[in-house]
Amino acid sequence: MRLSQTKYLVALLCVVLAGVAALLWQAGRSHDVPLWILALGAAGAGCAILLPGLWSWRQRIGQNRAVYGLIGAAADIARGEFRRSLVRTRRDRLGELEHAFENMRVALRNTTYTRDYLHSILNSMTDAVFVTAPGGVVRIANEAACRLTGYAEHELTGRNIESLLAETERTERTERTEHGARSGRAEAPPVRAAREAGEALLRTRAGQTIPVSFVGSTIAAEDPQFQGQIYVARDITERKRTERRIRYLARYDALTKIPNRMLFQHLLQQAIARSRRGGRGLALLYIDMDRFKEVNDTFGHESGDRALETLTERLTQVLHGEAVLGRLAGDELALFIEAVDAEPEEAAGPVAQLARAVLHAASGEAMHIAQQEVFLTISIGIAMCPRDADNVIELIRNADAAMYYAKQNGGNSYAFYSPEMNAASVERLMLKSKLRRAVERDEFVVRYQPKVDLTDGWVVGAEALLRWRLPGHGDIPPAQFIPIAEETNLIGAIGQWVLERVCSDFCALRRHIADPGRISLNLSLKQLKQASFILNCRSVFERHAVPTDHLELEITETTLMADPQRTVQLLNQLHDMGLHLSIDDFGTGYSSLSALQQFPIGTLKIDQSFVRGAADDAAAAVLVRTIIDMGHSLGMEVVAEGVETPRQLAFLRQCGCDLGQGRLFGEARSLEELSALLQAQERGAAAFAQLLPAAATTRSHPA
């Protein structure tokens, strides 16, 4: 109760009491009533008047307190403050109102807690989240959405999410929608189409477009005010940049920024098709830098890269877009021009003029490499389409051959391809140049030809065979590139690579197979002449932890007899290391029985030229039988090479030959194929038991 109201009530009671006292006093004087009775009556009348007033005053105070409490609670709720509880002070209808207010506060507090919790979850997400009404108007946007678009939350709220799509995005969606309408299909609106595509372009407040992943879902609710959609967008700018980079690198050379081999061949194929349809010719120029290896060896690979960049820039300037330039491999470039005369004689003049311009551009000025002036030249080979070839592979191969012909003649020149060129010498020169980089480019592979025990068909080992897979030329046989490797002193590096690979492969076999058998590999005379050969071998074996008794080195009969005194010392050292040694291609050299006895040889391999005719030729049969008997008399194991037919196999078994290898037992295998073969055999069945009528199917301890 307010203070003015209290004063008014006290004054009224005083007036009433004074009036009652005056009446009693008058009555007492008129009727002669004793004073104490008058006092008692006055007191009673006062109590009768005061008590109801006091009770009413107390009730009024309680009501006011409750009302003020309700007013305060309502004010708290209006401010969003739900922590202070409202205590029920009455048990009447006003108390029920207090109880209802308290229940409402608790309910609002729980609802607000859930809303704040969800809001904090949305703001903790790194992806942009938009919650919209069914019409697409944004109701809620988290902090990530604000950061992504550059808009404040209140600016996003109320905005249609379609307005955030870039104009090109909306145009494309509109065109698709119109096309869908014309085709009789109900096409999705832009936002839905973007959601179905999974990607969209968002336009920020600053006008920048950002590629985003765009996914959405419909919010299902019974109450229409909670229905709508929720969209999640993630900035994929970096992913798009990476994808573009990958697409670029798939087609263009990262160093020179010109088409790589794949794209160049594709463009060349299209150009050949156009020339064929138009009845015109095409010229391909194959370009290779002369003595480029010296630049790499002298100044380093970074300088070599800079030389390639400089050459590309010079060629690009001189061509002026009239030709397509590409990098095929290493320092090998190529270019082609279209619309030349279909008659080679008529086209030769303009093409030769272009070749001279390219030569001058490449070597006319010095290149600045590692603060040095270096003059580099190039060699160019020219092939004409359709005269020299009418397809990409042959055209490049012929231009390549012409380029090596020009290089053979001293370089810094060009040459037109001609069938009259010495194909063998050109091929040899080409192989010699490319062989220098074969190890660096990882073009060598090792295949394994199984060695089979002819008594039971059990695979007891394999011979490691080197293959050179030259891009654009297929597999080059060892007989073609090994002599070149020996001539150019590359055999040491190649032999070291083979030894490392065989040891690594053997360790891989040991992880799956208890006893892979014995792996053999070939040695050349050049390798044996290397001063550090023994040390290199020991280092490789120790590094790979390979048991040397599982390796066998094969030496040809010619190599064995080239320098017998030195060779026997080297072979003794290898034998002391635990290695097995064998004579390869026995019968093709000039060794004698007495010479063989001085070498620590454990295996004799019969050359395939003798095995090939042994089943049909009596003289060859006698020779093979003699070699087998001689090998056994010397305590050697005998292996027959080139076993290709069942008749040859039967003859060798009849002669008591120990092991055989050849196409009858399949082509040389990869490491994985050999491992699978040995694992299947390890489970109990000899790999080639079916070829041998008397072969056992199991073996407890493979040799």
701 vs 458, 507, 516, 639, 681, CA distance in Å? 11, 20, 11, 20, 12
Give the pLDDT band of residue 673 (cuts 50, 70, 90). Answer: very high
pLDDT exceeds 70 at position 41: no
Lowest mean pLDDT among 101-105, 216-220, 228-232, 332-336: 101-105
Q: Which CATH class is domain 252-434?
A: alpha beta
pLDDT of residue 640: 92
pLDDT of residue 183: 40
- Over residues 55-113, the pLDDT tens digits come to 666 666 666 665 666 666 666 666 556 566 655 565 666 666 656 666 666 666 665 55
Give the pLDDT band of residue 178 (cuts 50, 70, 90). Answer: very low
pLDDT exceeds 60 at position 177: no
Rounded mean pLDDT of 152-175? 72
561 or 598: which leads in pLDDT: 598
pLDDT of residue 688: 87
Given a contact cutoff of 8 angstroms between Cβ atoms, the answer to whether 416 and 382 are in contact is: yes
What span, in angstroms and rounded, lies between the C-alpha atoms of 67 and 95?
Answer: 10
Rounded mean pLDDT of 306-325? 87
pLDDT of residue 550: 92
What would the two tokens of residue 116 be?
Answer: 């704040």
What span, in angstroms and rounded, lies between the C-alpha atoms of 350 and 587?
Answer: 58
Q: What is the mean pLDDT of the chain?
A: 79
Rounded mean pLDDT of 517-525? 86
pLDDT of residue 114: 57
Q: What percent of the chain has pLDDT over 90?
A: 20
Rounded mean pLDDT of 239-251? 83
122 or 629: which leads in pLDDT: 629
Which runs of consecutive H residues, i.e. helices, occur in 421-490? 423-435, 478-487
Fold (topology level) of 489-499+519-683: TIM Barrel (3.20.20)
- Over residues 415-461, the pLDDT tens digits come to 998 886 656 556 777 777 788 888 778 889 999 999 999 998 899 99
pLDDT of residue 89: 60
Give the pLDDT band of residue 507 (cuts 50, 70, 90). Answer: very high
**What are φ and ψ of residue 339, in 5° steps?**
60, 30
With a CB cutoff of 8 Å and minimum separation 6, the contacts of 10 are none
With a CB cutoff of 8 Å and minimum separation 6, the contacts of 482 are 466, 491, 524
Instruction: For the chain, give every domain's residue range.
Output: 1-123, 125-242, 252-434, 489-499+519-683
Given a contact cutoff of 8 angstroms between Cβ atoms, the answer to whether 130 and 140 are in contact is: yes
Given a contact cutoff of 8 angstroms between Cβ atoms, the answer to whether 658 and 454 are in contact is: yes
pLDDT of residue 180: 42
What span, in angstroms and rounded, lies between the C-alpha atoms of 57 and 15?
Answer: 17
Rounded mean pLDDT of 360-380? 83
Rounded mean pLDDT of 491-511? 90
pLDDT exceeds 80 at position 652: yes
pLDDT of residue 58: 65
Given a contact cutoff of 8 angstroms between Cβ atoms, the answer to whether 73 and 104 are in contact is: no
Lowest mean pLDDT among 500-509, 549-558, 574-583: 549-558
Superfamily of domain 125-242: PAS domain (3.30.450.20)
Highest mean pLDDT among 76-90, 154-168, 248-262, 293-307: 248-262
pLDDT exceeds 60 at position 33: no
The CA-based angle 417-421-427, given to 5 degrees, is: 95
Highest mean pLDDT among 49-53, 311-315, 527-531, 697-701: 311-315
pLDDT exceeds 60 at position 270: yes
Q: What percent of the chain has pLDDT over 70?
A: 75
pLDDT of residue 586: 74
Rounded mean pLDDT of 264-277? 91
Rounded mean pLDDT of 246-268? 87
**Quick one: three-class SS letters along 172-230?**
HHHHHHHHHHHCCCCCCCHHHHHHHHCEEEEECCCCCEEEEEEEEEEECCCCHHHCEEE
What span, in angstroms and rounded, lies between the C-alpha atoms of 468 and 309?
Answer: 29
What would the two tokens of residue 411 be?
Answer: 């370089």
What span, in angstroms and rounded, lies between the C-alpha atoms of 153 and 300?
Answer: 57
What span, in angstroms and rounded, lies between the C-alpha atoms of 364 and 375?
Answer: 8
> Would 125-242 and 252-434 be classified into the same CATH topology?
no
Given a contact cutoff of 8 angstroms between Cβ atoms, the answer to whether 259 and 326 are in contact is: yes
What span, in angstroms and rounded, lies between the C-alpha atoms of 674 and 462?
Answer: 9
Strand 281-289, strand 332-340: pairing = antiparallel
Strand 459-470, strand 444-453: pairing = antiparallel
pLDDT exceeds 70 at position 625: yes
pLDDT of residue 532: 82
**Torsion-angle region of 159 (φ positive above 0: left; ψ -120 to 50: alpha; else: beta):** beta
